[in-house]
Chain A
Amino acid sequence: MGIAEKIKDGLKTNIQNNLNKKNIKKILNIISSEPLLSAYGATFASKSDKFLNIYSIKSLQKAYSSRYPVAYGSLFLPFELFHALGLAPFLPEVIGGFTGGLGLADRTLKEASSRWYTPDLCTFHRSASGAVEMDLFPEPDFIICTNIACDAAQKTFYIDAGKFGIKDRFYLIDVPYKKNEGSIKLLAKQLENISADIAAKMNKKIDMEKFASVIDYSNKFRDWALKANGVRKKLLFYPKYFNGLNFILPFHGLAGTKEAADLYRNVYLELNEFLKVQESIFTNTGNYKPEKMFKGRKIPCVDNLKKSRKILWMHLKPYYKNSIFTMLEENNYKIVFEEISNVYWPRLDPEKPFESLAVKMLSNPLNGSIENRVNAILKMALDYGIDGAVLFAHWGCRHSNGGARILKDSLKNIGIPLLILDGDCLNKNNSSEGQISTRLQGFIEIVDSRIQD
């Protein structure tokens, strides 16, 4: 994130020392004000970096403000629905992830374990549950979840509904295993029924006009994401701040908002600028001057670019300080694409919003058979011409790790090595830095030696 490290550390310490909902609310109010942030000396690396930070914070501030109806949502829901219904989305799993970065996971996980959540369960869910028990999350009006991509989400969300006494406002969107005409119809019906029920409980009707505009923004986001992904098929010279694994909110919680579309428009524009520079390096090899910088980044020489190794990253990353990404960088390894940046769904039809969203959910490669995920990954591997892939095997993530062997063998069939990197996205005590660095370096040695041959 681009906020000056000092401010970030200050806020971190403040939250750690004064951990309660009121203080979180206060801090969010401060940091969601852009002028105030600038006054403190916060700077952003670029527009997209700024938008990512500000929009994420604003969306959180909205959920904490008590001025809007709040709905908890699990990661793989179509959040277009939330925005169409005027609900402020709150994503406990993502915020659970933040606890890792804020150095709070120790406490939330400890709380969860004292409430009999066994330590074998996924830390995203355990940390979120711990935070609910500690009363750190905003009070929800509705709780909505889905069986994509895992079992643990539905269960923890149900427990939350019980804690807040809103079991009658708990919804599980039960996505069928297969995508076909019948399942699209059934899922669309579910989405429609649930939306109608939520609207009725808020004493209003679904505003179809608003819905259409949400769908429109979702499509705009999709267009920009596709263009940005297109640029990345060639891009090796990346902005320093860029890490595709940070863009969870625009793909999920902010889906269907103008903010997400604007944000990704800027991602595209910025990456495209870097691509242009990169192309000029290849065309003007003679004019290369090593000291030249572009937007705070040293322009690499042709050889360096040619020697870059291309990596596809699967699943998520650790949210606490770690050496993985610097290590990749130092070895000239570029993450040219991430599984989570994949635009897997077709354009939505504003005339048929429920059906379109049903199709979006059913197109998620994490739903149903692993074949869906394998096919999606193989396509990414070929599209981006990768030299290797990394699957971050987050502790307790059964659906993903359970398919690791198949993913590995499938990639092996097309000659691509996969590193299964065991670790924990949140709990640094459950990840061994030494083991991770040995595995990563070992993998790098293997990929390098293959290419030299």
Chain B
Amino acid sequence: MDYRIDDNLKETEIKKEKIGWLCTYAPEEIIIAAGYHPLRITGKLKAFKSEGYFPINFCPFIKASMEDLLASALKLKGVIFTNSCDGMRRFYDSCRAYLPDLPAFMLDVPRNKNIISIEHFTASLKEMIIFLEELSGKKICSHELESAIGICNEKRMLLKKLSNHFRNNQGSIGVKNYYKILEKSMTDEPEAFIKYIKERIKELRSHLNSASAGPAIMVIGNFINEERLWDIFDEIDCIIASEDMCNSSRYFENIKLSAGAEEVLDAALGAGKESPMAKLLTGIAVRQLYKPQCMRTADMGTKIEEIIKSITRNNIKGLIFISQKFCDNTLLLYPLLREKLAETGIPSLFLEIEHNNISAGQIKTRLQAFLEII
């Protein structure tokens, strides 16, 4: 009998007060340094009441997340929004208008990558600190932030290890479990999760299964966290050898800065006269802006290069592009990406889904047909 990771993912109790966050550009380390627990809002509830606040053709992930907030099921002390897209801007506005008692902060994230953007983002991070300090009534000092960065980096490193195991030995984790564990990493208390995942990785090392069957594929998307979808992946024969989603790689990649990013960091730090706090914030700003990009960033060319590189490196046979419906940023990458893929001869499958509301039968047929083609 092959080994299968323990998927008894019990929710751990969270003792600290919780600050919700939505987008991987929001640095958890600052929330932790402020003494809160960073809890990712994952749109658990099916949009129902929230339909009343947004038009029909509007991001289903945002609708589900608004439902979470309206139900106050998460018991949040506050929420960090990010200026990541038109939808998020209006989500923040609606939260402020219709949930006035829930403190909300809008983190401005630039779309360019250059020295001005770093300055811009750092200034925005400083405002986030002020927001959290006012909420908690206590100052954040640099050593608290430094230790929070340490915790987050350790978690990121462990997730990176887990993703390597998943890539090489998908069967020992399972697709649905893998994404459930990733979600756990964004909701559990970091220390508890680190303990949990260290044990799992140790087990994984000592239980090497025979390789899984099927072609290597790459999955690209925005926030794709559908149990019914991952169930289908578990049922069909394919290996997710590379992934690029905001609830997977874009959450934990890039602990080490690339050479280009190092240069920008040096330039941004300038003469080095800044306070330790300012240095840390600039560091966070550089890491966030130079991590694998979200589709929202200006330079889609680099995004496509990232994807093509990963395709070559991982010997990918086909690409599955999954987007939440009505996500302009993601949907507008596809025409360009498809053309580039055609040059390399890699086929792709385009799937539009609605968060918490997927038509499993249809998707399974399409996935199976796609695998038959490649």
Using a CB–CB cutoff of 8 Å, the interface residues on chain A facing chain B are 115-118, 120-122, 129, 147, 150-152, 154-156, 158-159, 162, 167, 172, 174, 176-178, 182-183, 186, 189-190, 193, 368-371, 393, 395-396, 398-399, 401-406, 409
Convert B343-362 into 0s and 1s, putting 1 for each residue whose CB lies closer than 8 angstroms to a CB of A: 00000001010000000000
B66 → A minimal CB distance (Å): 11
| B296 interface hit (Cβ, 8 Å) | yes
Residue of B nearest to A403 (CB): B90
Distance of A174 Cα from B58 Cα, bound (Å): 24
B interface residues, tally (CB under 8 Å): 48
* Additional A-B contacts beyond A116-B338, A120-B57, A158-B301 (5; CB < 8 A): A120-B331, A155-B328, A159-B300, A159-B332, A193-B116
- B111 CB contacts on chain A under 8 angstroms: 147, 154, 172, 174
Convert B86-127 into 0s and 1s, putting 1 for each residue whose CB lies closer than 8 angstroms to a CB of A: 110111111011000000001010111000110110011000
Q: Are B55 and A402 neighbours in the complex by a CB distance under 8 Å?
A: yes
Using a CB–CB cutoff of 8 Å, the interface residues on chain B facing chain A are 52-55, 57-59, 83, 85-87, 89-94, 96-97, 106, 108, 110-112, 116-117, 119-120, 123-124, 296, 298-301, 325-326, 328-329, 331-336, 338, 350, 352
Q: Interface SS of chain B: helix, strand, loop or mixed?
A: helix
- B54 CB contacts on chain A under 8 angstroms: 402, 405
Residue of A nearest to B90 (CB): A402
Given that A120-B325, A158-B300 are contacting pairs, would A177 and B86 also be in contact in the complex, using a CB cutoff of 8 Å?
Answer: no
- B296 CB contacts on chain A under 8 angstroms: 151
A-B residue pairs, 8 tightest by C-beta: A402-B90, A155-B332, A172-B298, A370-B93, A177-B108, A399-B86, A398-B86, A401-B55
B298: contacting residue among A121, A154, A177, CB under 8 A: A154
Residue of B nearest to A399 (CB): B86
Residue of A nearest to B338 (CB): A116
- B300 CB contacts on chain A under 8 angstroms: 155, 158-159
Distance of A393 Cα from B58 Cα, bound (Å): 13
> Can you give 16 contacting A-B residue pairs, CB < 8 Å?
A116-B334, A117-B335, A122-B328, A151-B328, A158-B301, A167-B301, A172-B112, A177-B108, A177-B124, A186-B120, A186-B123, A190-B116, A369-B93, A369-B106, A398-B87, A402-B91
Distance of A177 Cα from B336 Cα, bound (Å): 28
- A121 CB contacts on chain B under 8 angstroms: 328, 331-332
Distance of A402 Cα from B62 Cα, bound (Å): 11
A395 → B minimal CB distance (Å): 7
A152: contacting residue among B325, B332, B338, CB under 8 A: B332
Distance of A403 Cα from B124 Cα, bound (Å): 24
Distance of A134 Cα from B116 Cα, bound (Å): 37
Distance of A369 Cα from B325 Cα, bound (Å): 23
Given that A174-B298, A177-B83 are contacting pairs, would A159 and B89 also be in contact in the complex, using a CB cutoff of 8 Å?
Answer: no
Q: Are B326 and A162 neighbours in the complex by a CB distance under 8 Å?
A: no
Given that A120-B326, A147-B111, A186-B116 are contacting pairs, would A409 and B97 also be in contact in the complex, using a CB cutoff of 8 Å?
Answer: yes
B336: contacting residue among A120, A162, A172, A176, CB under 8 A: A162
Q: Are A151 and B329 neighbours in the complex by a CB distance under 8 Å?
A: yes
Q: Are B326 and A189 neighbours in the complex by a CB distance under 8 Å?
A: no
Distance of A395 Cα from B298 Cα, bound (Å): 24
A173 → B minimal CB distance (Å): 9
Residue of A nearest to B59 (CB): A398
Given that A177-B108, A193-B116 are contacting pairs, would A393 and B55 also be in contact in the complex, using a CB cutoff of 8 Å?
Answer: yes
Q: Are B57 and A176 neighbours in the complex by a CB distance under 8 Å?
A: no
Q: Are B94 and A405 neighbours in the complex by a CB distance under 8 Å?
A: yes
Q: Are B329 and A405 neighbours in the complex by a CB distance under 8 Å?
A: no
Residue of B nearest to A182 (CB): B123
- B110 CB contacts on chain A under 8 angstroms: 174, 176
Residue of A nearest to B83 (CB): A177
Given that A155-B328, A193-B116 are contacting pairs, would A404 and B336 also be in contact in the complex, using a CB cutoff of 8 Å?
Answer: no
- B97 CB contacts on chain A under 8 angstroms: 370, 406, 409
Given that A174-B112, A182-B123, A405-B53 are contacting pairs, would A398 and B328 also be in contact in the complex, using a CB cutoff of 8 Å?
Answer: yes
- A190 CB contacts on chain B under 8 angstroms: 116
Query: Which one of B90, B92, B329 has the highest number of Cβ atoms from chain A below 10 Å of its Cβ?
Result: B90
Distance of A189 Cα from B116 Cα, bound (Å): 8
- B301 CB contacts on chain A under 8 angstroms: 158, 162, 167
- A172 CB contacts on chain B under 8 angstroms: 111-112, 298
Distance of A115 Cα from B339 Cα, bound (Å): 9
Residue of A nearest to B94 (CB): A406
Residue of A nearest to B91 (CB): A402
- A122 CB contacts on chain B under 8 angstroms: 328
B19 → A minimal CB distance (Å): 19
Residue of A nearest to B333 (CB): A155
Residue of B nearest to A410 (CB): B97
Residue of B nearest to A155 (CB): B332
B270 → A minimal CB distance (Å): 15
Distance of A130 Cα from B335 Cα, bound (Å): 12
Residue of B nearest to A401 (CB): B55
Q: Are B335 and A159 neighbours in the complex by a CB distance under 8 Å?
A: yes
- B83 CB contacts on chain A under 8 angstroms: 177
B97 → A minimal CB distance (Å): 5
Query: Which one of B87, B97, B299, B338 has the highest number of Cβ atoms from chain A below 10 Å of its Cβ?
Result: B97
- B90 CB contacts on chain A under 8 angstroms: 370, 398-399, 402-403
A54 → B minimal CB distance (Å): 35
B335 → A minimal CB distance (Å): 5
Query: Which one of B92, B94, B328 has the highest number of Cβ atoms from chain A below 10 Å of its Cβ?
Result: B328
B352: contacting residue among A118, A177, A183, CB under 8 A: A118
Distance of A393 Cα from B53 Cα, bound (Å): 15
- A369 CB contacts on chain B under 8 angstroms: 89, 92-93, 96, 106
Distance of A432 Cα from B59 Cα, bound (Å): 24
- B299 CB contacts on chain A under 8 angstroms: 158
